[in-house]
Amino acid sequence: MIKHILTLIWNKKRSNFLLFLEIFLAFIVLFSVLTLVTYNLRNYSTPIGFDTEDVWVAYLEIDESVDSLTNIDMKRRIKQELNAFPEINGVGYSNSCVPFNDSNNAFGHRENGFRLFSFVIEADVDYPEVMDVNVVEGRTFNESDAYAKHTAVLITQGLRDQYFGDREVVDSIYLMDNDEPWKIVGVIDAYKYHGDFSDENRVMLKYEPQLESRFFSALIELNGAVGPEFEEKVNKAIAGVINRSDFVIKHLKTERELTSREYWVPIIALFSICGFLILNIALGLFGVLWYNINKRRPEVGLRRAIGATKYSISSQFILEILFVTFIGLLVGLFFAAQLPILKLVDIENINYYYAMGGAMGIIITVVLICSFYPSQQAARIHPALALHED
């Protein structure tokens, strides 16, 4: 039976070629889209590692003319004034590398005898608490870090897993940015500061009290939702200290949503376009199969006359189309497999495998659905009538 079907396909190779091409291209498109979607959704499913609910960030700048002692005092006074509001839980300082704002600061080298690459977020002693990071091992920053010999850092679990292996981590000193020895004081679960869809798990928080820097950011944690009146109060309070008001306050929750939206919109757009392509192909396939099967009425009549059952007729048609589909998928898989093999894009291989499976599943399902009705139709052809027509 199978050999018979293969012969049939081979003899009709020219009319099957277009079908094959269509399956092949549909697989490539689906595979690409599903890879992208799998990759992003897998990233999305991991925890972000910090809290954005009711957290604000103010990007601040202190005039060049202000001397360093006044600068230090201004920062102390901002915290003092803001913490005086009952609506405010805490204030932490960082540099301009604030979650969701696209700024980066990174280093990478092999000075410790193994490769190490990490993004660095500067944080003062209050920052971890304001951002509500989860310390899984060791401790968070404390007052003693200000006088410690080595700069204290908190590293993410992802960073530890990727580079440190069995090495001691907590309370160990390694050469980090600028080849300076920094001391790891604790491990936090994650810090996806590029947003929910980010894959970046190599991050460290570096203890940096922002004493003399002119540009810094204040992260403000609130007790609960407040209105714009309170935001105006905060704005005035800060402006009163630093003597300028050309700064903006952003809400981390909104920033997080906006960042995520930049991923959701293309994902949904791609999904709809893909859905349309699949529906389009399904309808086309259905039309072509239906027509082809009608054209082969005499053949079906003959097969029925010489003793083929209804079941064998319909399975013959379904198998024929499935074979062509498999050939298209095989060629598609060959090309798709080059991605994990050649490592052209730096993402985990598992994403490709999910996408391959998904794309094959969808295409086979669509083909089965589209061939089912026409082949049932073919099985119902009455041999006497069909033969008479010829």
Partner 1 sequence: MLKNYFKLAIKVLGRRKFFTFVSLFGISFTLMILMLITAFLQTELGSDAPMTEKDNLVYLPAISIKRAVKDTVVERDTSYQEGIMIVDSTVTYPERINSHSRSNPSYYFVNKYGRDVVPAKNYSIYNNSSYDFFLNSKKLTFRALLTDERFWEIYDFSFVEGQAYRKTQVDNGEAIVVLTQKACRQYFGQESGVIGKEVVFEGQTYTVSGVIKDPKSFHVYVNAEAYIPYTNLPPAVLGGTGLMDGFEVVYQAHTPADIPKIKKELEHRANLFEEFRDDYATYNRLEMMSYTFRERYADNLYDEDDDPAQNLKTVQWLLIFLLSLFVILPVLNLVNLNISRIMERSSEIGVRKAFGAHSSNILFQFVFENVILTFIGGLIGFILAIGMIKLINESHVLYETTLGFNFKIFFYSFLICLFFGVLSGLLPAYKMSKVHIVNALKQNQR
Q: Cα(257)–Cα(319) distance, rounded to whole angstroms? A: 48
CB of 137 to partner 1, least distance (A): 33
| Contact status, residue 90 vs residue 54, Cβ threshold 8 Å | no
**Beta strand residue intervals within the chain, DSSP E:** 55-61, 88-94, 106-109, 116-123, 135-138, 151-156, 172-175, 181-188, 203-207, 215-222, 249-251
Tell me which DSSP letter residue 126 carries.
T
Name which of residues 245 to 274 contact partner 1 (CB under 8 A).
245-249, 265, 273
Query: Of the two residues 66 and 322, which places its CB atom closer to partner 1 in the complex?
Result: 66
Q: Which of 3, 45, 65, 307 binds partner 1 (CB under 8 A)?
A: 65
| Site residue total, partner 1 (CB under 8 A) | 41
Distances in Å between the Cα of 196 and the Cα atoms of 7, 211, 255, 269, 364 are 53, 31, 11, 19, 33
- Interface residue with partner 1, options 4, 53, 63, 384 (CB under 8 A): 63
What is the residue type of 381?
Answer: I
Positions in 124-153 near partner 1 (CB under 8 A): none
Binding status of residue 64 toward partner 1 by CB under 8 A: yes
Is residue 387 part of the contact set for partner 1 (CB under 8 A)?
A: no
Distances (CA, A) of 21 to 324, 325, 384: 10, 9, 36
Q: Does 18 bind partner 1 (CB under 8 A)?
A: yes
Residue 135 or 270 with smaller CB distance to partner 1:
270
Cβ nearer to partner 1, comparing 91 with 289: 289
Question: Is 135 in contact with 142 (CB distance < 8 Å)?
Answer: no
CA distances from 366 to 47, 151, 274, 375 (A): 35, 59, 13, 14
Q: Is 155 in the site for partner 1 (CB under 8 A)?
A: no
How far apart CA 90 and CA 160 sit, in angstroms, is 29
8 is an interface residue for partner 1 by CB under 8 A: no
Cα–Cα nearest to 243, from 62, 78, 71, 70: 62
- Span from 18-26, 91-99, 123-131, 302-310 in contact with partner 1 (CB under 8 A): 18-26
Instruction: Say if CB 248 and CB 58 are below 8 A apart.
Output: yes
Longest dimension (CA), the chain: 105
Tell me the per-residue interface mask from 203 to 242 with partner 1, x by CB under 8 A, - otherwise.
------------------------xxx-xx--x-------
Nearer to partner 1, 84 or 248 (CB): 248
Two tokens at 7?
């012969």
- Say which amino acid occupies 166: D
Nearer to partner 1, 101 or 134 (CB): 101
CB closer to partner 1, 271 vs 291:
291
By CB under 8 A, which span of 11-19, 92-100, 126-134, 351-359 interacts with partner 1?
11-19
Residues between 273 and 332 with contacts to partner 1, criterion CB under 8 A: 273, 276-277, 279-281, 283-284, 286-288, 291-292, 295
Smallest distance from partner 1 to CB 333, Å: 17
Closest separation in Å from C-beta 14 to partner 1? 10
The whole-angstrom separation of Cα 176 and Cα 273 is: 46
**Whole-number Å distance between alpha carbons of 234 and 247:** 12
Select the residue interacting with partner 1 from 29, 120, 252, 363 (CB under 8 A): 29
Cβ proximity to partner 1: between 165 and 228 the closer is 228
Q: State the minimum distance, in angstroms, from the CB of residue 229 to partner 1.
A: 5
Q: Which residues pair with 318 in a beta bridge?
A: none
Binding site for partner 1 (CB under 8 A): 15, 18-19, 21-22, 25-26, 28-29, 63-65, 227-229, 231-232, 235, 244-249, 265, 273, 276-277, 279-281, 283-284, 286-288, 291-292, 295, 389-390
